[in-house]
A and B are shown apart, each in its own frame.
Chain A
Amino acid sequence: MTQPAEHVSVQVEVNGRRYQRSVMARLTLSDFLRDELGLTGTKVGCEHGVCGACTILIDDEPARSCLMLTVQADGKKIRTVESLASGREMSPLQACFQKHHALQCGFCTAGFLMSATALLEEGQPTREDIVETLSGHYCRCTGYSPIIDAVEEAAAKEPS
């Protein structure tokens, strides 16, 4: 990719599946996931990196997919909300979201789930860790405290 070009070829692994595509260089990763791969669980709420709705995991770290060009993910492993349930069972985190009524319209939810998933995978977060990490996400419906409660309970359940 040393010659400037408007189209680029990318290879990514998304939720354990490998994809090879030729895309516009300007295509954001969020648009790629949604429009090219049909993984519409990832939401776009602002397209300028503030609301957090588009958050996914790239090589296990949370990132805003609207702030990345697709080509920047070349060779990387991506996880989206579609990967969280195993078989027909929601992850403990997802179950805690339901239990605590941590979603209303659900538009922000995938982003929260992905950031929280990374947080739980890193260890046992405190309530402060949760607030610090999830402050990078907007939710206009819930007033947030049920989300904190849900992640806290999931953390307590997490085998560590």
Chain B
Amino acid sequence: MKSPVFAYAAPNTVAEACSLLADDEDAKLLAGGQSLVPLLALRLAAPTTLVDLRLVPALTGITHDQGVLRLGAMTTHRSIERSPLVQDVAPAIAEAAALIAHPQVRTRGTIGGAVAHADAAAEWPAVLLAMDGHVEVTGTGGSRSISAGDLFMGPFMTSLEPDEVITSVSLPIDGREIWVDEHQRRHGDYGLSILAMTYQLSDGLITDVRLAVAGATGSVTRAPEAEAALEGRAPADSNDAITALAAELSYTSDIHGSADYRRDITTTLFQRALRAAGERSGQA
């Protein structure tokens, strides 16, 4: 279990990184390496060039400005989990970070790496989708912002161009409620089902809801029918939404659980989220 040969470069700027990517179509970016290095060891990935972002300044750091929480792409899960700023403005995000794998992995794994990897059973893509987050990316042709909805194309697939680098992740902090929850068989396992939900609560009613599911489905996905069924309803009045969520997604089967099972436990995650919404509206 040793990586195949590759050439390695650690550029000092994003622009250099982009041109290195442009130079070799089989090049791959290295962020924290917590997903890529095992793939190399298993020889399931065999890039010819590895472009390491660790020397590029300004890719880490967390800021909160004008209702946007901006996380540098190379920010580790651990620093998000422990950031006083995140814990203050969006504690659910800090808690979501703590759901990822184990501390020994969170110290190295980065949000940008996880988003770009687009694992169907990862937490960040679901969080981004539910929050309507964006990624800022730079390529040889310039920079752009991609919304989460436009970014995730399928399991391990994104709309990033081969020469593009994610430089940061932006999450709107706009007073909407955030809820992230997961069923893991053991501490730190990949989620059998991950559910992220954001919504407004006004007068005990849920509005403007965005619901994303990962882990249970072939790729991270929104649940538009469940969202629509929930719109304007009280948390307790959510049977239609629950039925819709069970029906509209295509759940996956593997050795860790059948599609039926994943549907069932996704439903229980949704019910937990709705119970929490009920409690929040009770407190409001």
Contacts and interface: CB of A to CB of B under 8 A. Distances in A.
Determine direct contact between A and B, CB below 8 Å. Answer: yes
Interface stretch (A58-66, A84-92, A150-158): A58-66
B280 interface: no
Contacts of A63: 104-105, 107-108
Interface string B1-30: 111111111111000100010001000001
B222 interface: no
Interface in A1-36: 1-6, 8, 24-26, 28, 31
B37 interface: yes
A48 B1 contact: yes
The dominant DSSP class at the A interface is: mixed
B187 A135 contact: yes
A71 interface: yes
Nearest to A115: B104
B100 to A, nearest CB: 11
Given A8-B8, A26-B3, A72-B33, A47 B41 contact: yes
A67 B105 contact: yes
Interface string B27-71: 000100110011011100000011110110000000000000000
Contacts of B3: 26, 28
Nearest to B17: A2
Interface range on chain A: under 10, 10 to 19, 20 to 34, or 35 or more? 20 to 34
B256 interface: no
Contacts of B51: 4
Given A49-B38, A135-B188, A25 B8 contact: yes
B6 A6 contact: yes
Ranked 9 nearest A-B pairs via Cβ:
A136-B102, A25-B8, A4-B7, A135-B187, A48-B38, A1-B10, A26-B3, A47-B1, A61-B107
5 contacts: A1-B11, A2-B11, A6-B5, A6-B6, A136-B188
